[in-house]
């Protein structure tokens, strides 16, 4: 079903290198990837293979070194800073591997942070939307707590609530269950599952756990900065992947 | 983002980072406060000194005996004959001879050790002293060497409290004097509290002390100060047999000075003082500025990560800049106000405290210094708050979030 939808994300020959003191660290190589609206994708791969790096680029948090990235058919390289900011505010959201919450700030204020920068959602709706998102991750009783008064799992759920609050087209979640016990992990995955199945939202997830990956309809494996396998076109790439995996 | 949201965000950030905000404000408070304090103390003291000098009539001339070889003894080079000769000059008027009496003044159990002037009524006019009640010293007092006295305002108050001293008798040394007058309060001049002075007729002082020569002499220039000074100096050199065409004051055994000269000297001193104060104020500004700079720089990493996160959820560059601008302006205004109020309060307290000891010290505020202090605080706040914020806002969100320099 998802395959019929128009592509939300398309990358062609996308490469990423980090530069530190003139030293180049190549991380991603020739990533060709198409993600259609409504897909639920898991990205797996060994530590250091470049999963987070790819997610950051797709989530508009970082820029590719070369190659092209099209979002809803639009070349992102030509977008101005304010247009990129608008996409971050309205269309994509991110759950970080390391929560990245504002310290000394309540759960509710953290969750509604993106709404401050949202161009159309009125200020009067912020608290209601924030509380709804908090309820979805089961933190209603903790809404007025400061984030440093929460457990790691609760902090991650706060971060997930923050990513839901703008109802974006696509949510990028970088190991969202990595810090949670299995019960709250399932709870979080069910939230994401619901967003996907009931609201048709696109979800891209990085995980190390097979059980978590199985929520997704499509699993992409990354190895040394390249897409090694992709269940969508497994057949097409099979021969090449076998060669790679050796 | 709405302006209201930006303001609220900035203010929440200030509260959320209490310590950082307080330390930043402390730098501003110290910088602004010490500038306001230093400059106002300097300006107040300058005003005080100028008031002291300007309170004399501008054509006042004083003539002192000098001489190093007589150090330790009462100088006796200026004589009554000199006084009589000077009264003959046409360029000076209102000449008054003075002999000091170094005795205690007693009334009942009260006792004072004031400056006691044996002089004539001209003296009062020369220093602009005015009678409060009773009468001044008269020519009759002078001729008959009467044992009468005129008390300074404070001297009268110290001896008699609320009672009127007129007609009462006070003891000066071994003699008893009738109080005939009390002066108006005039405060102090040239660091001397004129209100504590006590006056007796010149002839009376001469017989009481047995001193023939004069302690000093005062007069007024009729027109030109310089001319009068030259006349007096020439006359005395002639009378004392001093050949001094090169005008070397060390050769003279007297020194004539005008209040105008004193004003010029004081003007130079206060100019030096102003420069000195300005230097200290500059150092204070620097210290405050470095304080602000340090705390801003220390928090750059924290701020950069926060900016990265805000950008990640959709903040635009100008949302970020406005937030940090508002934060810096708020801290500056609050810190600056506290600094101004604190510095002024301390300055007023100091001026009031000093007034108790050296006579009325006015509190003077320097608006240019105030403005400079606030601009400095604002400048440092903006520079070290906005420049890193601008830099952070130009990074990609992820670069900023991972910032740890
Ligand atoms: N800012 C950076 N500068 C230089 N190298 C970096 C930087 N960030 C990441 N790398 C390198 O890029 C590679 C990929 O990192 P990335 O975080 O994308 O891995 P990952 O697949 O998410 O790993 P994990 O599963 O452990 O989270 C790693 O070798 C890492 O050292
Ligand atoms: Mg990672």
Instruction: Kindly determine whether residue A85 and residue B316, on different chains, have CB atoms separated by under 8 Å.
Output: yes
Cα–Cα distance, B84 to B95 (Å, whole number): 9
How do strand A23-36 and strand A7-20 relate by DSSP bridges?
antiparallel
Cα–Cα distance, A36 to B41 (Å, whole number): 74
Range B351-375 average pLDDT: 83
CA–CA min distance A218, chain B (Å): 26
B313 closest CB neighbour out of A109, A117, A123: A117
Residue B242's Cα: distance from chain center in Å?
39
pLDDT tens-place string over residues B374-386: 888 788 778 877 8
Q: Which token pair is B382?
A: 């903006």
- Are B203 and B69 in contact, with CB atoms under 8 Å apart? no
Residue of A nearest to B396 (CA): A62
Give B305's contacts in chain A (Cβ within 8 Å). 100
pLDDT above 60 (res B144): yes
Place of tokens 């924290």: B302
Residues with CB under 6 A from ligand 1: A 18, 20, 25, 27, 45, 47-53, 97; B 402
On whether any CB of chain B is under 8 Å from the CB of A71, the answer is: no
User: What is the pLDDT confidence band of residue A2, given thresholds at 50, 70 and 90?
Assistant: very low
Instruction: Kindly determine whether residue A82 and residue B316, on different chains, have CB atoms separated by under 8 Å.
Output: yes
Range B85-114 average pLDDT: 93
On whether any CB of chain B is under 8 Å from the CB of A91, the answer is: no
Q: Which of A53, A97, A221 to mutate for ligand 1's pocket (most ligand atoms within 8 Å of CB)?
A: A53
A194 is a domain residue = yes
Least distant ligand from the CA of B398: 1
Give the Cα-Cα-Cα angle A124, A149, A154 (nearest 5 degrees): 75
Residue of B nearest to A52 (CA): B398
How do strand B116-119 and strand B198-201 relate by DSSP bridges?
parallel
Q: Give the residue extent of every domain in chain B.
A: 3-53+265-402, 78-252
> Which of A137-151, B63-77, B237-251, B356-370 is the least confident region?
B63-77
Give A93's contacts in chain B (Cβ within 8 Å). 313
Interface contacts A/B by beta carbons within 8 Å: 70
A83 is a domain residue = no
B1 closest CB neighbour out of A61, A93, A117: A117
pLDDT attached to residue A203: 94
Range B353-371 average pLDDT: 82
Q: For residue A159, report the distance from its CA to the centre of ligand 2, in Å.
A: 16
A117 is a domain residue = yes
Least distant ligand from the CA of A49: 1
A175: containing domain: 37-61+90-232
Give A113's contacts in chain B (Cβ within 8 Å). 309-310, 313
pLDDT above 60 (res B57): no
pLDDT attached to residue A141: 95
Instruction: Kindly determine whether residue B313 and residue A90, on different chains, have CB atoms separated by under 8 Å.
Output: no
pLDDT attached to residue B146: 95
CA distances from B197 to B98, B113, B152, B291 (A): 13, 10, 5, 51
Q: What is the residue with the minimal CA distance to atom 14 of ligand 1?
A: A50
The length of chain B, given as a count of residues:
405
State the complex-level ipTM.
0.91
Instruction: Kindly determine whether residue A123 and residue B5, on different chains, have CB atoms separated by under 8 Å.
Output: yes
Give B317's contacts in chain A (Cβ within 8 Å). 81-82, 85
A171 is a domain residue = yes
CATH at residue A56:
3.40.50.300
> Which of A181-195, B112-126, B229-243, B312-326 is the least confident region?
A181-195
Q: What is the number of the ligand 1 atom nearest to the C-alpha of A175? A: 27
B316 closest CB neighbour out of A81, A96, A102: A81
pLDDT attached to residue A246: 47
Which of B298, B302, B293 is CA-nearest to residue B400?
B302
User: What is the pLDDT confidence band of residue B287, given thresholds at 50, 70 and 90?
Assistant: confident
Q: What is the residue with the minimal CA distance to atom 24 of ligand 1?
A: A47
pLDDT tens-place string over residues B391-400: 888 999 999 9
pLDDT above 90 (res B71): no
Range A64-82 average pLDDT: 95
On whether any CB of chain B is under 8 Å from the CB of A103, the answer is: yes
Q: For residue A45, report the distance from its CA to the centre of ligand 1, in Å.
A: 12
What is the percent of chain B where pLDDT is above 90?
40
What is the percent of chain B where pLDDT is above 70?
95
> Which of A65-79, A178-192, B244-258 is the least confident region?
A178-192
Range A134-142 average pLDDT: 90
Residue of A nearest to B311 (CA): A85
DSSP state string for B234-282: HHHHHHHT---TT--GGG-SEEEEEHHHHHHHHHHHHHHHHHHHHHHHH
């Amino acid at each position: 079903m998802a395959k019929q939808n128009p592509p939300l994300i398309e990358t062609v020959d996308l490469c990423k290198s980090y530069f530190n003191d003139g030293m180049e660290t190549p991380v991603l190589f020739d990533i060709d990837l198409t993600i259609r609206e409504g897909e639920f994708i898991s990205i797996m791969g060994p530590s250091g293979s470049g999963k987070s790096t790819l997610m950051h680029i797709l989530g508009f948090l970082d820029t590719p070194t070369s190659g092209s990235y099209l979002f809803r058919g639009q070349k992102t390289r030509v977008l101005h800073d304010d247009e990129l900011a608008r996409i971050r505010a309205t269309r994509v959201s991110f759950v970080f591997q390391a929560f990245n919450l504002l310290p000394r700030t309540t759960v509710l204020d953290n969750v509604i942070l993106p709404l401050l920068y949202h161009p159309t959602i009125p200020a009067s709706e912020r608290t209601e939307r924030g509380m709804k998102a908090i309820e979805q991750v089961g933190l209603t009783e903790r809404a007025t707590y400061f984030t440093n008064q929460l457990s790691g799992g609760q902090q991650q759920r706060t971060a997930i609530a923050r990513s839901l609050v703008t109802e974006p087209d696509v949510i990028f979640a970088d190991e969202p269950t990595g810090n949670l016990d299995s019960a709250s992990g399932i709870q979080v995955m069910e939230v994401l599952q619901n967003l996907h199945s009931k609201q048709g939202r696109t979800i891209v997830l990085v995980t190390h756990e097979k059980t978590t990956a199985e929520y997704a309809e499509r699993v992409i494996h990354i190895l040394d900065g390249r897409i090694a396998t992709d269940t969508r076109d497994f057949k097409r790439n099979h021969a090449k992947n076998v060669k790679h995996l050796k | 983002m709405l302006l209201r949201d930006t303001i609220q965000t900035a203010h929440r950030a200030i509260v959320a980072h209490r310590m950082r905000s307080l330390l930043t404000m402390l730098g501003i408070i110290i910088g602004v406060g010490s500038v306001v304090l230093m400059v106002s103390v300097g300006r107040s003291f300058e005003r005080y000194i100028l008031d002291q000098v300007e309170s004399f009539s501008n054509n006042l001339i004083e003539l002192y005996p000098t001489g190093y070889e007589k150090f330790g003894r009462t100088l006796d080079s200026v004589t009554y004959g000199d006084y009589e000769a000077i009264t003959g000059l046409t360029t000076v008027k209102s000449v008054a001879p003075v002999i000091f009496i170094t005795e205690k003044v007693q009334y009942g159990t009260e006792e004072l050790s004031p400056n006691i002037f044996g002089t004539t009524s001209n003296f009062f006019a020369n220093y602009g002293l005015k009678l409060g009640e009773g009468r001044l010293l008269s020519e009759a007092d002078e001729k008959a060497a009467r044992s009468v006295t005129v008390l300074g305002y404070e001297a009268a108050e110290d001896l008699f409290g609320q009672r009127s001293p007129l007609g009462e008798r006070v003891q000066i040394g071994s003699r008893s004097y009738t109080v005939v007058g009390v002066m108006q309060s005039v405060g102090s001049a040239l660091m001397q509290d004129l209100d504590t002075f006590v006056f007796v007729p010149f002839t009376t002082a001469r017989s009481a002390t047995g001193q023939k020569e004069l302690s000093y002499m005062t007069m007024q220039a009729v027109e030109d100060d310089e001319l009068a000074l030259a006349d007096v100096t020439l006359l005395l050199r002639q009378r004392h047999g001093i050949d001094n065409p090169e005008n070397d004051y060390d050769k003279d055994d007297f020194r004539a000075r005008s209040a105008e000269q004193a004003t010029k000297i004081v003007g130079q001193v206060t100019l030096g003082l102003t420069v000195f104060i300005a230097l200290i104020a500059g150092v204070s500004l620097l210290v405050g500025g470095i304080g602000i700079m340090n705390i801003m720089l220390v928090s750059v990493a924290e701020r950069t990560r926060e900016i990265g996160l805000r950008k990640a959820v959709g903040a635009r560059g100008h949302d970020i800049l406005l937030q940090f601008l508002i934060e810096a302006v708020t801290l500056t205004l609050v810190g600056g106000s506290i600094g101004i109020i604190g510095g002024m309060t301390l300055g007023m307290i100091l001026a009031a405290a000093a007034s108790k000891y050296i006579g009325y010290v006015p509190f003077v505020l320097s608006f240019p210094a105030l403005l400079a202090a606030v601009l400095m605080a604002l400048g440092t706040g903006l520079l070290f708050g906005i420049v890193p914020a601008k830099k952070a806002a130009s990074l990609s969100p992820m670069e900023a979030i991972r910032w740890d320099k």
